[in-house]
């Protein structure tokens, strides 16, 4: 039975990876379930056995993002000084958004979230999880008290926006790196 469950789990992973590739390359609405099945190397019927719709695939991507983020945040929590943890978290966000595939996927998800409340809610929960942890670390880092959640959200916006712009404009010749943002980030959290 374990072997069958492992095979099913792996097939679901292949389908999700194929959906990520298709959504990033062609866009959410331009990608068909048939495209995703072909890219995953499974039959259309097999795809539908795992996911009833493209929206279900986006929901699975949100769930996997939340799982990966929880793992990352748990690993980082308690490791070193708050400023170092903040920088690690934001650098990981930078790397994810700067990756051309993940950057394009993020933009597709943002566009779809603007039209679909369920998708918006799922990805907003993930964003708030990241902002909440950042906010806690900022509170530990700052000597004065203010609206740490607002600072955390502004930092996420700064890193995401700049990294996504870099990923889609000139992926071969970046004008900014995470290192160029560090002084501004440190200024905001100190």
| Buried b / exposed e along 158-170 (16+ C-beta atoms within 10 A) | bbbebbbebbeee
Report the chain's mean pLDDT, rounded to a whole number. 87
Q: In the CATH scheme, what is the code of domain 55-189?
A: 1.10.357
For the chain, domain boundaries = 1-52, 55-189
Predicted local confidence at residue 79, as pLDDT? 64
Predicted local confidence at residue 43, as pLDDT? 95
Residue 112 scores a pLDDT above 60: yes
Per-residue pLDDT reduced to its tens digit, 25-75? 999 999 999 999 999 999 999 999 999 999 999 999 999 988 988 887 777
Range 1-52 classified under CATH 1.10.10.60: yes
Indicate the pLDDT class of residue 170, thresholds 50, 70 and 90: low
Predicted local confidence at residue 171, as pLDDT? 55
């Amino acid at each position: 039975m374990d072997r069958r469950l492992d095979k099913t789990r792996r097939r679901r992973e292949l389908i999700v990876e194929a959906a990520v590739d298709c959504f990033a390359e062609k866009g959410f609405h331009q990608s068909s379930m048939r495209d995703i099945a072909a890219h995953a190397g499974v039959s259309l019927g097999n795809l539908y056995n795992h996911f009833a719709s493209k929206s279900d695939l986006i929901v699975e991507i949100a769930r996997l993002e939340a799982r990966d983020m929880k793992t990352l945040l748990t690993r980082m929590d308690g490791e070193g000084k708050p400023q170092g943890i903040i920088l690690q978290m934001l650098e990981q966000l930078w790397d994810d958004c700067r990756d051309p595939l993940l950057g394009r996927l993020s933009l597709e998800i943002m566009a779809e979230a603007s039209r679909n409340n369920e998708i918006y809610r799922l990805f907003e929960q993930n964003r708030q999880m990241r902002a909440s942890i950042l906010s806690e670390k900022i509170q530990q880092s700052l000597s004065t008290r203010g609206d740490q959640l607002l600072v955390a959200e502004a930092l996420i916006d700064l890193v995401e926006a700049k990294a996504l712009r870099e990923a889609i404009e000139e992926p071969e010749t970046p004008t900014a790196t995470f290192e160029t943002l560090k002084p501004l980030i440190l200024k905001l959290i100190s």
